[in-house]
């Protein structure tokens, strides 16, 4: 496995793969690798000739005062975890390499980014669309892999690829959970034991939504209120949002009469976690 930090070296490698007419699978990450990332790598490994994983903690997708400084950093440990997955190349550029002096171009997407996390994290998705476009331009993957836990991010990237005519197949893979239901996230590493326990209320609220939907309740407000009460029963939690939206457009629904997404963002102490479930 090669670890490449320079864009020109990465480009040369990609060129040699393309010359050999091999397909490229790509898993972009910000490091702090967990089993959710590993499952993306396994899907990508089974569907492509070459597998490239990027590790880049992208500063432009964190809002002011947000958790960039506290985001877990463990590059050496990440490299060892990724090595076990039969990955061909890790692309791990520094910030200066991706955003050199004078950098001033951004990719902005409207509409889908106005909903859910976009409402409470201004600028976040522009940071994501910009870095993902840059990574796609460097790595030129045939297929790129994202997790359903970041449902809105996947929707934004699917739209980005369509709108900008990028010839890349976006694969969205199921959320990986701990046995007790907590969705895997790099941010879970920051939870202490009590917070880890409190975080289970997030999954509990999604189960509540699913069971209400299964009993034919279609009123979004009613479901949201019950979801909120599951979370509020737990100490030291602060709801950022609970929404039920059209699963395609991410627009708020009052009546669930089409495929919907119940999405939740909750502060557990100083850590903000998100999760979601499809209702259909
Ligand atoms: O999901 C993430 O880890 C990041 O948002 C991504 C897609 C790697 C872009 O920085």
Full-model pTM: 0.97
Residue 262: strand, helix, or coil: strand
The closest of 76, 19, 95, 18 to 52, measured between CA atoms, is 18
Atom of ligand 1 nearest to the CA of 132: 9
Q: Whose CA is nearest to atom 9 of ligand 1?
A: 128
- Domains and their CATH numbers in the chain: 2-173 (3.40.50.620), 186-275 (3.30.1300.10)
Q: Provide the pLDDT for residue 66.
A: 64
State the distance from the centre of ligand 1 to the C-alpha of 75, rounded, in angstroms: 16
Burial class (CB in 10 A: 0-12, 13-18, 19+), 216: exposed
pLDDT tens for residues 222-265?
Answer: 999 999 999 999 989 999 999 999 999 999 999 999 999 999 99
Distance between CA 74 and CA 32 in Å, rounded? 6
Residue for token pair 């990574």: 135
Res 65: pLDDT: 61
Helices of type H across the chain: 7-19, 35-47, 75-83, 95-98, 116-120, 124-139, 151-163, 193-198, 200-214, 220-232
Alpha-carbon separation of residue 182 from 107, 154, 174, 200, 267 (angstroms): 32, 20, 13, 6, 14
Strands 143-147 and 24-29: parallel
Atom of ligand 1 nearest to the CA of 29: 8
From 40, 121, 127, 132, the mutation candidate for ligand 1 (largest count of ligand atoms within 8 A of CB) is 132
Torsion angle, alpha carbons of 77, 187, 96, 41, to 10: 60
Q: Tens-digit pLDDT profile for the chain (280 aa)?
A: 999 999 999 999 999 999 999 999 999 999 999 999 999 999 999 999 999 999 999 999 998 666 788 899 999 999 999 999 999 999 999 999 999 999 999 999 999 999 999 999 999 999 999 999 999 999 999 999 999 999 999 999 999 999 999 999 999 999 999 999 999 999 999 999 999 999 999 999 999 999 999 999 999 999 999 999 999 999 899 999 999 999 999 999 999 999 999 999 999 999 999 999 999 9
Question: Cβ(40) to ligand 1 under 6 A?
Answer: no
Catalytic positions, written as ranges: 37
CA atoms within 13 Å, Cβ hemisphere of 10: 26
pLDDT of residue 70: 86
Q: Whose CA is nearest to atom 6 of ligand 1?
A: 29
As a whole number of angstroms, the distance between CA 275 and CA 198 comes to 14
Q: Report yes or no: 230 and 242 within 8 Å, Cβ to Cβ.
A: no
What does the longest C-alpha to C-alpha distance in the chain come to? 58
Cα of 30 to ligand 1 centre, how many Å? 6
116 lines ligand 1 (CB under 6 A): no
126 CB near ligand 1 (under 6 Å): no
**Does 117 contact ligand 1 (Cβ within 6 A)?**
no
Residue 30 Cβ contacting ligand 1 at under 6 Å: yes
Give the distance, in angstroms, between the CA of residue 113 and the centroid of all CA atoms in the same chain.
Answer: 14
Q: Give the C-alpha separation, 52 to 107, whole Å.
A: 23
Distance 21 CA to ligand 1 centre (A): 27
């Amino acid at each position: 496995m090669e670890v490449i930090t320079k864009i020109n070296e990465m480009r040369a490698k990609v060129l040699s793969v393309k010359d050999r007419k091999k397909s490229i699978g790509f898993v972009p990450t910000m490091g702090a690798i967990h089993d959710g990332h590993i499952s993306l790598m396994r899907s990508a490994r089974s569907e492509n000739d070459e597998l490239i994983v990027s590790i880049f903690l992208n500063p432009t997708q964190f809002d002011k005062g947000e958790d960039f400084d506290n985001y877990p950093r463990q590059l050496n440990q990440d490299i060892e975890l990724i090595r076990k997955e039969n990955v061909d190349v890790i692309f791990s550029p520094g910030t200066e390499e991706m955003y050199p002096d004078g950098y001033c171009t951004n990719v902005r997407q409207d509409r889908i980014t106005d909903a859910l996390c976009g409402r409470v994290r201004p600028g976040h998705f522009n940071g994501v669309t910009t870095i993902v476009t840059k990574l796609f331009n460097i790595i030129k993957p045939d297929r790129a892999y994202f997790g359903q836990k970041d449902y809105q991010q996947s929707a934004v990237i699917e739209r980005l690829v369509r709108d900008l005519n990028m010839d890349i197949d976006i694969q969205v893979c199921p959320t990986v959970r701990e046995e007790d239901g907590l969705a895997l996230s790099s941010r879970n590493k920051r939870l202490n034991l009590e917070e880890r326990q409190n975080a289970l209320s997030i999954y509990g609220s999604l189960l509540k939504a699913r069971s209400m939907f299964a009993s034919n309740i279609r009123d979004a407000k009613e479901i949201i209120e019950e979801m909120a009460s599951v979370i509020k029963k737990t100490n030291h939690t602060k709801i950022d949002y609970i929404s039920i939206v059209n699963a395609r457009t991410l627009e708020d629904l009052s009546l669930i009469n089409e495929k919907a997404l119940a999405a939740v963002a909750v502060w557990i102490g100083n850590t903000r976690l998100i999760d979601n479930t499809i209702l259909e």
